[in-house]
Amino acid sequence: MKQWNLIRLRSDRGLKQKDMAKMLGVTDETYGMKERGQHQFQMDEMFVISHFFHVPIEDIFLPRNIGITEVREQARNTQTIK
């Protein structure tokens, strides 16, 4: 699953994939594969990105194999429980 929220954040700030790759210490190719969902981001990479953009991890990254409908349903269920 492509990381659409991350792609949007990066684009909105005028950053290229190579800029993000350099920040994470990975190759441009590796970063591109992660952003396209071909490889998963490591947890420490997610924290670095979250800190850089000042956005919570859960607002940037979607879990692999979960569609947006399921994410919204989980959020609704969590709010109902509280």
pLDDT for residue 39 = 93
Q: Which residues span the domain enclosing 23?
A: 4-81
pLDDT 10s digits, 22-81: 999 999 999 999 999 999 999 999 999 999 999 999 999 977 665 555 555 656 665 655
pLDDT for residue 79 = 61
- Count of structural domains, the chain: 1
pLDDT for residue 77 = 61
pLDDT for residue 71 = 55
For the chain, what percentages of helix, strand and coil (3-state, to nearest 5) are there?
Answer: 65, 0, 35
CATH of the domain at 72: 1.10.260.40
pLDDT for residue 62 = 77
